[in-house]
Structure 1
Amino acid sequence: MAQLDHFSDKLIQILKSKGGVKGQRIKAVLAIKDSDSAAEDAERDIKVMGIYTIRRDGNEKPEDVGIVIEGIKVLNNGSVIMGFIMLFGLIYALDLSFPDNLKYTFEFFQKIIMNLDGHKLNTKIQQLKIKLFA
């Protein structure tokens, strides 16, 4: 958790600076959805796996954080970091593979943030690591 805390501000800054189609997709992912049925929408919209957060009235602290796997909410708590760690634990415990569209994201967290098998880096992850430590 300390590693994630350490890198989160710089990582968000790098992601927000992206342009083009990738930048638009990242901005859509980072957008906060404010609706009464946000949890149900998250369960419906997250097809493979993911973490959703619900914030109301511009609060910094999320009202609800949950983990969805294959459209079913499996866990919820009040912390994004704990939600991420629990998602990673579920991936390992249930022997799930990383989703194809999030392969590099999970690989980055595994190899850079968690320092697991970090000596074998993909080119995309290596470039992000350079930007992160710059």
Structure 2
Amino acid sequence: MAVFVIWKEGEGLQEPPADIGIVIEGVEVLHELTLVASACALLLGLIYALNLAYPKPLCFTFEHKMSPKVHNLYSKLQSSQ
């Protein structure tokens, strides 16, 4: 899964991209989107709509509950400020 941005050769980052799109499992599913932010939102919607399985190594990426080890580190960082 990826969001891609294609820039015209020789143009700076100030210019709008030539194309923004989404690729899932090597297949371009959407293209000619206007914003990277909307492409990211659409990618999340596609993941939900297509019921795609989240990769095992990233299964806790969006989890709000911290493990005890992470919570301890977080507490130490907060107390040092």
- TM-score normalised over the length of structure 2: 0.64
List 4+ stretches of structure 1 deviating above 6 A. none
Q: Secondary structure at the match of 1:84?
A: helix
Residues 22-61 of structure 1 correspond to what in structure 2 (within 5 A)? 49-56=1-8, 57-60=11-14, 61=16
Deviation at 1:100, TM superposition (A): 4.3
Task: State the structure with more CA Rg.
Answer: 2
Q: C-alpha separation between the residues in 2 aligned to 1:98 and 1:62?
A: 29
Residues 1-134 of structure 1 correspond to what in structure 2 (within 5 A)? 49-56=1-8, 57-60=11-14, 61-76=16-31, 77-100=33-56, 103=58, 107-108=61-62, 118=64, 120-121=65-66, 123=70
1:15-59 per-residue CA deviation (whole Å, 9 max, x = no partner) reads xxxxxxxxxxxxxxxxxxxxxxxxxxxxxxxxxx11110122113
- Give ranges in structure 1 of 5+ residues lacking alignment: 1-48, 112-117
Q: C-alpha separation between the residues in 2 aligned to 1:63 and 1:88?
A: 23
Partner residue in 2 for 1:26: none
- TM-score normalised over the length of structure 1: 0.41
Q: CA RMSD in A?
A: 2.9
Identity of aligned residues (%): 39
Deviation at 1:97, TM superposition (A): 1.7
Aligned length, in residue pairs: 68
- Give ranges in structure 2 of 5+ residues lacking alignment: none
Q: C-alpha separation between the residues in 2 aligned to 1:62 and 1:84?
A: 16
